[in-house]
Every structure is written in structure tokens, then in C-alpha cells.
Amino acid sequence: MVDAIREKGVIMFEKRRRISRKLQGVILPAVIHQLNASSKGLGHLKVTKGLPDQAEVTEIWKDEEVRRHVVYLSIQECTCREW
């Protein structure tokens, strides 16, 4: 029984190695797909980079700037208090 479990583990790790050799880039394709799906419909937002660990997000409505929020990436916080 233990030998069968060990053999299945070896097969699984070899399969993962083959898959990882085919991958390119740093982010997994499934994660990229999720990010693309969740970012659709965000065309009314404009992102401006500031310091290396912060960015400004401006909500644009009919060519007028309505709201502006600062996102602090290092502490994962936003002035909108929703993140």
C-alpha cells in the first residue's frame, strides 16, 4: 500500500515538472485569466503610478474626474477603504 502511494506521488511530481517546463513568465496562466476576467468593465478608471509602492486611481465619469484614491501597495491599503 505504501509503495503504491509513493509511486503515485512520483508520477504526480513528474507530471508537474513537465507542465512547469512548458510555462513561460512569472504568473500562472490560470491567474492571468482570472485577472483579465475581473478587470473587464474597468475602463472608467485611470491608474497613475507614483512612488514605487503607491499609485493613484481616478474614477472618470463623462470626461470629468470624480474621485481619486491613493493605493499603498506595501501595506495593501487604499484611501477608498474598500480594499
Q: Per-residue confidence at 83, pLDDT binned at 50, 70, 90? A: low
User: Residue 49 and residue 79: Cα distance in Å, rounded?
Assistant: 15
Predicted confidence (pLDDT) per residue in 47-74, tens digit? 888 888 899 988 887 777 688 889 998 8
Whether 36 and 46 map to the same domain: the answer is no
Question: Which grid cell is 50?
Answer: 507614483
Q: Are residues 23 and 49 in the same domain?
A: no
25, 46: one domain? no
- Mark whether 19 and 48 lie in a shared domain: no
CA 64 – CA 60 distance, rounded (Å): 6
Identify the domain containing residue 61 by its residue range: 42-83
Share of the chain above pLDDT 90, in %: 22
Residue 13: pLDDT band by 50, 70, 90 thresholds? Answer: very high
Structural contact between residues 60 and 44, judged by C-beta atoms closer than 8 angstroms: yes
In this structure, are 66 and 50 located in the same domain? yes
Residue 76 phi/psi, 5° resolution?
50, 60
pTM for the complete prediction?
A: 0.48
Q: What is the domain count for the chain?
A: 2
The helix (run of H) or strand (run of E) holding residue 21 is helix 2-22
